[in-house]
Structure 1
């Protein structure tokens, strides 16, 4: 069966329909974003993101069982999590899946450039197009909050895992973290787009057409972001789906308080204003604050206060016949 083609230029009628159809909204929004997604979110396939991906994975799942022979990324986007885990030696062979044909296309192109053994399918997370017991590992990054029926998706993940196989999902927003991140982002956007109207700062203002486009994208983004998670409730969902050895871990508190205003500011100003010096400052600040979160704040603050939640679990081994 041939996968559908990307549709990066949705009609106004399609966009209107998407506000009542979260899956269509996800397809249109992510097809539209696919070509610039890595740049928007500062995604790379070098040591910076390899270290991030492997550190996140190991923080929740540990290093036992690596390298996994075959893994699938659910809602892969451009392949950020899977491809960097492969480069980090966590995974040997990979498969990318996403509801957006455009994202699958870009992920496969990224994998080819990196020389990685990866195939891909356009896939609905609630009906994964692979046979039972196919994968040793299923991963995902910032995907569960886009899926209408998370319990159904978790059951599908367990179905395609081999007995004893593991899933790892990371980058999911907590309820409290999403609240303060959105408020900080909205305030930063308002301040930046209004201050840069002033004469001496007009060169720092993006062209109006780009700002309007970003605003429209933000409106559709509100449709594709369906859930926030309480860590304990997410653990219960995974257990109810049939997983064992379930564990949720949270990270990014001070890093999120700084990171969301920085990311929003970067989206509101012309890219040429963001010098290498600025990008290095932002990256190293995030690294320092992430270390504070892990080494200090994680020991004293409730896990619900952190922005990201990561979760892992295992598919039970098949019962032995007597």
Structure 2
């Protein structure tokens, strides 16, 4: 393919650009994620150690199984800072990877993370509806929390199938279900309101973040509402992938009790000064999430409809090439 120079990150968008972004979801995604790129891993407690390696590989195996590993080549669509792909590579699921994102800032950080980890990764700024790779390029395409940002999800699935080799697999995880997103947002809004108001009390002022930081977080949340375009019903998502031409499609959901507790915890952490979040607190929150996730997986997933869970994961394959007679 002809070499193309990717655009530079724009972490400090002008007021005019931000106003324009409210009418342009793709521009909003670029501005929001360029702005978030430098602090994204910290904000979402993303790491590249055993904790997140185990999470990424467990999520992948829960929907796709272990057959076919390690995949020789893989691309992450909407990679952000590389969380899913890089941890899957460290977990032995993938040998060589490519990161793509609409945000130049995210691609830059993902490549920097890969270099620090010594992983064989290249990257491109890419629109999910027009992926800049040739047909039949990859054995695997993955994504985490990306489909809900894409205006035309079925067009993205068609592009994913185009760049996959015949028989190649895709795995997308971390997508919000329709019902899960509703209760998660309500819990987050309530927690934010309670925390930012209670910490106005004189006895709790040391737990209050500076007002300018709270204002900045509120502006980010307003733009985040523009970049989050979809929530999904698991059955409808399966039909979307099938309609794009995928086969062997399957959606799986997880996190119910873990989401009911996890979203208030994450919102609380965003609303207080970071120095108040001790290692002891972070370990408590993480192990609580692990225990609740186990309850969801071993018990609640067997008795509750899959539509009630917060996360939906989906996998499918590109039809194999016809054999010659």
TM-score of the superposed pair, with normalisation by structure 2? 0.99
Alignment partners' CA distance in 2, 1:166 and 1:290: 26
Shift of 1:320: 2.6
Paired positions, count: 322
Aligned match of 1:179: 182
Gaps of 5+ in 2: none
Shift of 1:285: 0.1
After TM superposition, list the pairs within 5 Å mapping 1:275-290 onto structure 2.
275-290=278-293
Correspondence 1:152 to 2:159:
no
Aligned match of 2:225: 222
After TM superposition, list the pairs within 5 Å mapping 1:133-172 onto structure 2.
133-172=136-175
Aligned match of 1:31: 34
Helix, strand or coil: the match of 2:283? helix
Alignment partners' CA distance in 1, 2:248 and 2:67: 14
Alignment partners' CA distance in 1, 2:204 and 2:196: 10
TM-score of the superposed pair, with normalisation by structure 1? 1.00
Correspondence 1:128 to 2:131:
yes
Gaps of 5+ in 1: none
Shift of 1:129: 0.1
Shift of 1:224: 0.1
Residue 239 of structure 2 is aligned with which of 236, 239, 246?
A: 236
Correspondence 1:204 to 2:207:
yes
- Once the two structures are superposed, residues 34-88 of structure 1 have per-residue CA deviations (whole angstroms, 9 ceiling, x without a partner) of 0000000000000000000000000000000000000000000000000000000
Shift of 1:272: 0.2
Alignment partners' CA distance in 1, 2:189 and 2:30: 25
Aligned match of 2:110: 107
Alignment partners' CA distance in 2, 1:320 and 1:169: 29
- Once the two structures are superposed, residues 5-59 of structure 1 have per-residue CA deviations (whole angstroms, 9 ceiling, x without a partner) of 0000000000000000000000000000000000000000000000000000000
Aligned match of 1:318: 321
Correspondence 1:264 to 2:267:
yes
Q: CA RMSD in A?
A: 0.4
Aligned match of 1:21: 24
Alignment partners' CA distance in 2, 1:11 and 1:320: 55
Helix, strand or coil: the match of 1:112? helix
- Once the two structures are superposed, residues 101-123 of structure 1 have per-residue CA deviations (whole angstroms, 9 ceiling, x without a partner) of 00000000000000000000000
Alignment partners' CA distance in 1, 2:159 and 2:120: 24
Alignment partners' CA distance in 2, 1:268 and 1:203: 12
Shift of 1:154: 0.2
Correspondence 1:309 to 2:297:
no
After TM superposition, list the pairs within 5 Å mapping 1:42-121 onto structure 2.
42-121=45-124
Aligned match of 1:293: 296
Runs of 4+ in 1 over 4 A off after TM superposition: none
